[in-house]
Amino acid sequence: MSVDQRDQCRKGLEYLISRTGFQRGYFHVEFIVHSRGAAIIDANVGRLGGGSVGEQIADSFDLDPIDVYQHTIQCSIFPNALNVAPYRSERVATLGVLYGVQTRGVFEELMLPANMNARHTQILDTGQLVPEMGLNNWAWIGILSGRTPNVEEAIRRVRIRANGKWHSPCY
């Protein structure tokens, strides 16, 4: 993403926040970014984004994800209450990888690294048809999240069996 595209996203977000009067709580905003700029396509006040976002925020501050989700709910239900945020430490870099397979097939088995120091959520059940990654949101087999070096190391060792063959994840 270019600096201009990032600035356009920031300006769109600032405009959205100023127009709504939103002051306190959680939200997520989705953009489509293309060569001509960026456009807001979805804005949700009162909730975190999906996938690994809540886990990544928690891991970034060395918290349990329950603390992050609890604070999200408290801010949404009691917006005028003094909700003390659980974030106390310096942040560390986190990464979330939503992965699938490069070619369409039947998902048969998932092999995760032993002693993996990252969180994993399996999205797709075995026996399900999985589209090639990038086709749509139904192409995700799993989500790997945690501190950046741990996720980078773990994703290299994940193996997916589809159509009778073992594959490295595509993301």
> What is the rounded distance in angstroms from the CA atom of residue 134 to the CA atom of residue 111?
21
The pLDDT, as a whole number, for residue 142 is: 97
Cα angle, residue 5 at apex, residues 39 and 25 outer, rounded to 5°: 65
- Look up the pTM and report it: 0.81
Question: Mean pLDDT of successive 10-residue segments in the chain (171 residues)?
Answer: 92 92 86 90 87 95 95 87 83 96 97 97 96 88 98 98 97 94
Which are the contacts of 99, defined by CB distance < 8 A and separation ≥ 6?
Answer: 133, 140, 141, 142, 143, 144, 155, 158, 169, 170, 171
The pLDDT, as a whole number, for residue 23 is: 80
The pLDDT, as a whole number, for residue 109 is: 98
* Residue 68, CA distances (Å) to 23, 58, 87, 144, 152 in order: 18, 6, 9, 18, 24
